[in-house]
Amino acid sequence: MSTIESVLVENRVFVPSEAMVRNARISGMDAYHALCAEAEKDYEAFWARLARENLVWTKPFGRILDESNAPFYRWFDDGELNASANCLDKHMGTPVEHKTAVVFEADDGTVTKTSYRELLSRVGQFANALKAQGICKGDRVLIYMPMTLEGVIAMQACARIGATHSVVFGGFSAKALQERIIDAGAVAVITANYQMRGGKELPLKAIVDEGLAMGGCDSVRAVFVYQRTQSACNMVSGRDRTFSEALAGQSVECAPVAVGAEHPLFILYTSGSTGKPKGVQHSTAGYLLWAKLTMDWTFDLKPEDIFWCTADIGWITGHSYVAYGPLAAGATQIMFEGVPTFPNAGRFWQMIERHQCTIFYTAPTAIRSLIKAAEGDAKVHPDRYNLKSLRILGSVGEPINPEAWMWYYRNVGGERCPIVDTFWQTETGGHMMTPLPGATPLVPGSCTLPLPGIMAGVVDEAGHDLANGVGGILVIKRPWPSMIRTIWNDPQRFKQSYFPPEMGGKLYLAGDGAVRSADRGYFRITGRIDDVLNVSGHRLGTMEIESALVSHTKLVAEAAVVGRPDELTGEAVCAFVVLKGARPEGDAARAMAKELRDWVAKEIGPIAKPKDIRFAENLPKTRSGKIMRRLLRSIAKGEAVTQDTSTLENPAILEQLGQAY
């Protein structure tokens, strides 16, 4: 790669090396433009070709895109297939059969390798265990598992029998779990006794028990418990069984159940702009097509690659780039149970060296924390490790600041590896905009250009295109196969949130702002334009945290939550709270803040804990009673307030709001 000066605001540009271009699946910008042109020329034919080439169909599709009930789009809907067969069975009898599918490294460093053949057997056997409990096609199964191979097996086993899974990240609370079980109407829960993270044994089953005991979960007939550690956990007879009990006597052969292309493969809950999380529903065919194809395109996957995506299976990144994409693409992947800082902050670099990782995909927040660690301790600096195996780096989940980009590029990639800054969302199923390693000139902090077939644009509030250089609303102009199908149980909210009638009802609204560069038309994401925060790459709704705070009815009268920029976590949660009693100060305020932070952790999960809590006697409101959030955002940042405050009932509260205790 070489550096070229240009007139961009960010004026560093890194062009792919000749060798990278020569060997790439999408080789050079001409090849990229040719694919884009193919999609432009005949959109449906383009996607049909890809769906035929990349998926194995038990019944071929005839229809491509059905727009008759827009925005409830349907793709390939008269075709039939099975997702698990497309990840496992399809490799049998090929060179992939005996290839390692997963190199699993446990929290304590123990490594286990599993071939595609072995994985197929384990998935088949677990699928039979599910069937033995009467679980079948169309049922919803909630998965609350550690980041172990068994989590992937559980997901694949559901897919195999046509059950729709809903994975809940192991950091969510009992309350969050209960809400999701009820909303999804789950018939079973798959969990583990404990999870191991950073040398600590943390409960999972106890949280499931607590969630189920909160009531309303009568749909749950069976609980499967993977014994991750030796410790005992409570088991309810008749309802709960360990994995070994469930698997005993089950055959490893389980015929995959063919489902329609639109059959819901999974529901994944994510935060929106109201208090209630949305159950994002994905299809089988369209979703899997894109998970597989983006492995090939974005990561330029080769048979000999060792791929590592560090995301947990509880997030969409772990669905598309751990549980489905790498398997559908026949890759060898590394799966890691632990945390990047245990036993020390060199863990990622050590693992890259140990397993000869070639493609490494992680989040900016992890990079930033490892930069900080490496600056403080030379022993965990990447230059202490041999990272020569790497050929491609990836970034996901939040904007990557150019400084972190440059550090990643230099110190991890040795100025040799392109960084694919992948912009996408839970709702998009897979990458939307990203550089291609063997084609796209890189600009730090830019996700560059949409993938072929993705019709991205930047528009104003009326839905009209904006010129390059002008910031606006990021939209996708045509439906694409891996898009969200609906919000589970709430089709109206789906329509309203993603295809707002005010903008014509046909544009998909990502919820992000964007601007395109004047010279190249490159996209740069400017952040969420709704009430959604991104804290360490985790998506949180401000209303969700507000609801959690005010649900503490004994203490809290009113609360408003905003985000503020944070060097390490991208954004941080800042809560302004009006208590029912007197406004506390000093130690009393500190104690109260702790109590409220713990409360939020209990209601949602530790990831939602406000970093900053300010107490005031009132919240700033307009005459019509709306909380002045813009003003709160300025205060949270510690900026001078420039907004008009003449309508404030009690201007003295501004000073209170600005005071940290």
Residues that bind ligand WT7 (CB under 6 A): 270, 315-317, 396-399, 421-426, 447, 510-512, 525, 528, 534, 539
Q: Which phi and psi angles does 6 have, rounded to 5°?
A: -145, 180
Q: Which is nearer to ligand WT7, 279 or 620 (CB)?
A: 279
Least Cβ distance, residue 496 to ligand WT7 (angstroms): 17
Cα dihedral sign, 113-115-121-125: positive
**Nearer Cβ to ligand WT7 (123/316):** 316
Q: Which residue has the tokens 């400084």?
A: 403
Reading the block at residue 268, the tokens are: 């994944």
Cα separation, 381 vs 374, whole angstroms: 4
User: Which of 173, 193 has the CB closer to ligand WT7?
Assistant: 173
Annotate 140-167 with DSSP letters as a single string.
EEEEE--SSHHHHHHHHHHHHHTPEEEE
Of 501, 443, 517, 509, the closest CA to residue 477 belongs to 509
Question: Which runs of E-coded beta strand occur in 222-313?
Answer: 222-226, 240-242, 259-260, 266-270, 278-282, 306-309
> For residues 541 and 226, what is the distance between their CA atoms, to the nearest angstrom?
31
Query: Closest separation between CB of residue 508 and ligand WT7, Å?
Result: 12
State the Rg of the chain over Cα.
25
Query: Quick one: 47 or 523, whose CB is closer to ligand WT7?
Result: 523
Nearer to ligand WT7, 13 or 309 (CB): 309
Q: Which is nearer to ligand WT7, 261 or 396 (CB)?
A: 396
Of the pair 155, 196, the CB lying nearest ligand WT7 is at 155
Q: In the chain, what is the greatest distance between 2 CA atoms, to the nearest angstrom?
A: 75
Element (H, E) at 598: helix 586-603
* Residue 425 Cβ vs ligand WT7, minimum distance, rounded to whole Å: 4
| Rounded Cα–Cα distance for residues 23 and 303 (Å) | 13
| Residues 562/636, Cβ–Cβ less than 8 Å | yes
**Residue closer to ligand WT7, measured from CB, 114 or 362:** 362
Taking the complex as a whole, how short is the minimal distance between the CB of residue 159 and ligand WT7, in angstroms?
20
Please report how close the Cβ of residue 524 comes to ligand WT7 at its closest, in angstroms.
8
Question: Smallest distance from the beta carbon of 364 to ligand WT7, in angstroms?
Answer: 8
Cα gap 137→116, rounded to integer Å: 24
Least distance to ligand WT7, CB of residue 217, Å: 26
Q: Judged by CB, which is closer to ligand WT7: 243, or 423?
A: 423
Task: Report in angstroms how near the CB of residue 320 gets to ligand WT7 at its nearest.
Answer: 8
Centre a 10 Å sphere on the Cβ of residue 147 and count the other Cβ atoms it contains.
Answer: 27
**Of the two residues 267 and 596, which places its CB atom closer to ligand WT7 in the complex?**
267
Judged by beta carbon, residue 166 or residue 426, the one nearer ligand WT7 is 426
Q: Name the token pair of 166.
A: 């809903």
Whether omega for the bond prior to residue 364 falls within 30 degrees of 0, making it cis, is no
Closest approach of ligand WT7 to the CB of residue 326, in Å: 16
Q: Which H/E stretch holds residue 588?
A: helix 586-603
3-state helix, strand, coil in the chain (%, to 5): 35, 25, 45
Least distance (Å) from ligand WT7 to the CB of residue 580? Answer: 34
User: By three-state DSSP, how is residue 392 classified?
Assistant: strand
Q: Which is nearer to ligand WT7, 240 or 398 (CB)?
A: 398
How near is the Cβ of 316 to ligand WT7 at its closest, in Å?
5
Distance CA 212, CA 55 (A): 38
> Nearer to ligand WT7 by C-beta: 404 or 525?
525
Structure tokens at 484: 């969200």
Helix 205-213 crosses helix 174-184 at what angle (to 10 degrees)?
Answer: 60
Q: Please state the closest distance from residue 447 (CB atom) to ligand WT7, in A.
A: 5
What 8-state DSSP symbol labels residue 22?
Answer: H
- To the nearest whole angstrom, how small is the minimum distance from the Cβ of residue 512 to ligand WT7? 5
Structure tokens at 645: 């405050």
CA distance 163 to 224: 15
Please say whether the beta carbons of 158 and 188 come within 8 A: no
Tokens representing residue 288 in the block? 């899997």
Decide: helix, strand or coil at residue 465. Answer: strand
- Angle of CA points 585, 586, 588, to nearest 5°: 70
* Nearest residue (CB) to ligand WT7, 203 versus 441: 441
**Nearest approach, Cβ of residue 306 and ligand WT7 (Å):** 22
